[in-house]
Amino acid sequence: MPSRNEIIAMVKEVLQQEFDLTDVELNLDTHLVDDLDLDSIDAIDMAVRLEERTGLHFEDDELKSLQTIGDIVDKIDGRL
């Protein structure tokens, strides 16, 4: 089972690779919409990448409830 730090690193890597966010500082408080400008299509792509990496499936309602990177990490950490 990955540690919390490994989950944080994995989520940051997915966001950086998928959305060209290499020059943006990412931390647990980073807001997905306000800071990273993720839209509804990005949310689907992010979920697909996270599903590939973790084997977890994210329902639409779960995706809508994710506001920050910390929320994603908590969600994955709680289910792995």
Site residues for other proteins per CB under 8 A: 17-20, 38-42, 44-46, 49
Q: Which is nearer to other proteins, 17 or 27 (CB)?
A: 17
Q: Give the per-residue SS3 of 55-79.
A: CCCCCHHHHHHCCEHHHHHHHHHHH
Q: Which is nearer to other proteins, 45 or 77 (CB)?
A: 45
Query: CB of 25: closest distance to other proteins in angstroms?
Result: 17
Radius of gyration from C-alpha coordinates of the chain = 11
Query: CB of 45: closest distance to other proteins in angstroms?
Result: 5
Q: Which is nearer to other proteins, 47 or 76 (CB)?
A: 47
Query: CB of 49: closest distance to other proteins in angstroms?
Result: 7
Residue at token pair 């997915």: 14
